[in-house]
Amino acid sequence: MSVLDYIWLGILAVFQGPEAFSIFGLAISITVIMVISGFFLGILVGATPGLAGPVAMAISLPILISTFGYNTDALLPVLGFLIGVMKGATVGGAVPAILFNTPGTPDAFMTTLDGYPMAKRGEAKRALRIAHFSSVSGDTFSDLVLIIGAPFLAIMVERYLDLPEKTALLILSLSFISAVVGGSVGRGLISTGLGLLAVYVGTGEDFYPRLSVGTQTLAQGFPISTSVLGVLIIGAVFKELDDLRSDQRASRMKPITTSDTNSALTLAERIKLAPTIFRSAVIGTVVGALPGIGSTLAATLGYTAAKRRHDDAEGGKFGEGVPKGIAATEAANSAVSGANLMPVLSLGIPGNAAAVFLLLAMDSISGFNPSPTVFKFDPVNLNPELVMAFGIFTTMFLANALNWTVGGRVMRSMGFMIRIPKHILLPSVLLLTLTAIYVQETRIEALYFALGFGVLGYLMRVFGISPLPFVIAFILGAKLEETARQAYAATGNDPWFLFTHPIAAVFVALSVGVMILTSRKRGSV
Amino acid sequence: MGPFYFFMTPNKFTAVIFLVFAIVVLGVWIPNDVETGLLEKMRRHWVIGDSLAPTLAAGFVLFGAALILLFEKRDEAQFTMAAAQFVFFLKLVIVILVALSVMRHLGPILINTYAAISGLELEYRLLRDVIGVKHIGFLIGGMIMIGGMIAVVEGRLSHRALVIGLIWSLVLILVYDLPFEDLLLPPNGDV
């Protein structure tokens, strides 16, 4: 079988999968319907301040699993829906940023800098069009790089990385995340350490479940949904409510209406924005391919790079309503999502919160285990995981096609979402999250765990500690220990296996190096 | 900076908290609550023991706290925590705990009470498939959770907040429970 055969089978798996209904005899596959539904839901939640793509992904996952089951047939509809949400939310996040000066998603913060001033000048619709055009361009670019890059990354991993190197790579990923996410290296390390500690409770190889304090409750460990949703979503709900308490002004602010009539972007304007969009798309893609950094940093880097090259005399000052400012931010943060799937698909290492939920879905449903073997081109025997991988890529491009065609119109019509009062929305999200956890775990203890992790997530945010390293460490912790155990055994009980294998040693050196460099850089700012 | 931070910079306060936590984990929790050491001899082979991974995890926390203490204690990234903020947060947590408790126990209590009054042999567990009975705890618990949290933010309990809570709980019942036979809402997985 050639590469083209695999690609074609992947496309067919999406369009000729189980039928949802037919129109004039033409069968519409359930995967297509799920991508469309996810995409519209994503725009809706992205446009709602206080909600974000991962919230919708987390809450819909148990419903999706319950509807489609755990077998391989469920994979594309479920992942298609989640990918649709992820992409829709990225676009939708710009709506409140521009109209309300409040980012719908954290990575849209930089969009407020030029988007809101443009909206205040009466160019709200135009600003939204720029945001949409840049976002979808960056996203599509990133997806192309993913399709080309992921198989190569997988081949490199398979060829050069054995167990010691894989252990070192996981350490490098965690160090990298610790160093670059959040307020400081120290805080990142604390977050990572807490995540690892939490995942090691109630596990281990001994008969006695470690760190369980002799209780049956802790002996089963913390379910992944309680820790991830607790720290990420419940913690965020607490923090948002807290911010609301301290800043009542924001809830009374009137949104800006989108009444400007001449808002269309001409071809010349699009061409003028193209270099900025391309530069930011490259930045976002590179950042996205590295685990843990995420779209917020990509947006910041994209914006800074565009600002540095911008001539104030030509189009006004950055921060005062310059279209390039919006384009730079939106292209960069949207370009993260595709590239972020590179480490997810080929290594099983999530790079951001959205990737965490995609990985959880892949773990729950059988038939697709993210690893280098996914991209093994077998010319004789069919590799079903590779077909699925191309199916996943097809759903991404389907979502992109929706984004190019109807996404802008839908996005611009979402301004009403900012009128939902946050202090009503957030408790509703909390109950929704707890319900989603209960239907997965079916025991009330899980809700207390989730609440506990929510309190932890809130306190971490208060202390300026990013919860993302915690979540990623929680997900990778078991894998890190297992790989280390295997590497130790495979190297004949060599306690120095991380240093005696050259590539592993380089990864360890990089882990230390990235922390020192980040500390020094922060110290010199 | 106020007395809350015990006359330290907030960053130093953060570092001290996590330093103490890491030391307790390394010195007390791991040695007393993990059966095997860092490395163990099993069948004449050395293997990695169960203590190694949590020790490294606590080491991350310790190292992070030490970094803040040594290099970042006067950084710009300082947190603030006022007493009013703490009280507000505490109120939210109490509301949620009360709501979860209602969610868990209201249905069984109502059925037991009715059984005691009527003299019928009734048990919640046997009635948990009955529409209404199986929803009562979630409905009222959800209403208390949402209504209570809104009340904490608004500073007063309103009928509107409780109605919103009731409606949203109903919506969740319609979304999660009615279409799916295998999904259970609280407390029906516990009883």
> Does residue B23 fall inside a structural domain?
yes
Interface test with chain A among B159, B183, B184, B188, by most A beta carbons within 10 Å: B183
Domain boundary pick from B72, B91, B110: B72
Across residues A159-167, what is the average pLDDT? 89
Q: Which residue's entry shows tokens 């991974």?
A: B53
Number of domains forming the structure of chain B: 2
Please name the member of B48, B67, B187 whose beta carbon is closest to the beta carbon of A484.
B48
One domain, residues B53 and B92: no
Q: Which of B49, B72, B95 represents a domain boundary (last residue)?
A: B72
Question: Residue A141 pLDDT > 70, yes or no?
Answer: yes
Residue B105 lies in a domain: yes
**Domain-embedded: residue B186:** no
Residue B191 lies in a domain: no
Q: Residue A264: CB partners within 8 Å, gap ≥ 6? A: A129
pLDDT at A191 over 90: yes
Instruction: Please name the residues in contact with A405: beta carbons below 8 A apart, sequence gap of 6 or more.
Output: none
Question: For testing the chain A interface, which of B14, B153, B171 should be mutated: the one with the most A CBs within 10 Å?
Answer: B153
pLDDT in the model for residue A521: 63
User: Does residue B139 fall inside a structural domain?
Assistant: yes
Please provide residue A27's backbone torsions phi and psi, each rounded to the nearest 5 degrees.
-75, 130
Interchain proximity B85–A443, CB inside 8 Å: no
The answer to whether residues B170 and B95 belong to one domain is yes
State how far the Cα of A225 lies from the Cα of B119, in Å rounded to an integer.
42
Query: Residues B48, B93: one domain?
Result: no
Please report which residue ranges of A403-467 form alpha helices under DSSP H: 408-412, 422-441, 444-462
In this structure, is residue B184 part of a structural domain?
no
Tens digit of each residue's pLDDT (9 = 90 or more) over A84-96: 999 998 888 888 8
Of the listed ranges A103-107, A168-172, A357-361, the one predicted with least confidence: A103-107
Query: pLDDT by residue (tens digit) across B117-141?
Result: 998 888 898 888 888 899 999 999 9
Contact B172 A442 (CB under 8 A): no
Question: How far is CA A449 from each of CA A118, A281, A324, A445, B146, rounded to the nearest angstrom?
Answer: 45, 39, 45, 6, 19
Residue B140 lies in a domain: yes
B137-175 pLDDT, tens digit per residue, is 999 999 999 999 999 999 999 999 999 999 999 999 998
**Residue A437, φ and ψ in degrees, nearest 5:** -70, -45
Model pLDDT for residues B68-82, shown as the tens digit of each residue: 888 876 666 556 777
- Please give the span between the terminal C-alpha atoms of chain A, in angstroms, as a whole number: 54
Final residue before a domain boundary, out of B72, B93, B120: B72
For A313-338, what is each residue's pLDDT tens digit?
A: 666 788 888 888 899 999 998 898 88
Q: What is the pLDDT of residue A504?
A: 94
Compute the average pLDDT of residues A174-200. 88
Please indicate, yes or no, whether residues B15 and B88 belong to a single structural domain of this protein. no
Nearest to B153 among A423, A431, A484 (CB): A423
pLDDT attached to residue A32: 94
The answer, yes or no, to whether residue B2 has pLDDT greater than 60, is: no
Higher pLDDT: A62 or A231? It is A231
Contact B61, A197 (CB under 8 A): yes
Residues B41 and B98 in one domain: no
- Which residue in the set B54, B68, B150 is minimally distant from A423, CB to CB? B150
In the block, residue with structure tokens 């010691």: A164
A50/B164: higher pLDDT: B164
Pair of tokens at residue A359:
């990985």
Tokens of A150: 């992921």
A208: contact with B, CB 8 A cutoff: yes
For residues A29-35, average pLDDT: 93
The answer to whether A235 and A216 are in contact (CB under 8 A) is no
CB contact under 8 A, B61 and A447: no
Rounded to the nearest angstrom, the minimum Cα separation between B114 and chain A is 24
Look up residue A380 and give its two tokens. Answer: 């004789």
As a whole number of angstroms, the distance between CA A461 and CA A55 comes to 17
Residue B185 resides in a domain: no
Q: Can you tell me the distance from the alpha carbon of A82 to that of A86, in angstroms, rounded to the nearest whole number? A: 6
pLDDT of residue B10: 79
Q: What pLDDT does residue B179 have?
A: 82
Model confidence at A293, pLDDT cuts 50, 70, 90, reads: low
Specify the residue for token string 């996914």.
Answer: A374
Which of B95, B138, B143 has its CA nearest to residue A435? B138
Task: Provide ipTM, 2 decimals.
Answer: 0.93
Q: What would the 3-class secondary structure string for chain B be?
A: CCHHHCCCCHHHHHHHHHHHHHHHHHHHHHHHHCCCCCEEEECCEEEECCCHHHHHHHHHHHHHHHHHHHHHCCCCCCCCCCHHHHHHHHHHHHHHHHHHHHHHHHHHHHHHHHHHHHCCCCCHHHHCCCCCCCCHHHHHHHHHHHHHHHHHHHCCCCHHHHHHHHHHHHHHHHHHHCCCCCCCCCCCCCC
Domain housing B110:
83-177
Both B90 and B37 in one domain: the answer is no
C-alpha closest to that of A459 among A138, A230, A162: A230
Query: What are the tens digits of pLDDT across the range A233-260?
Result: 899 899 989 988 877 644 445 556 555 5
Q: Contact A272/A310 with Cβ under 8 angstroms?
A: no
The nearest alpha carbon in chain B to A218 belongs to B33
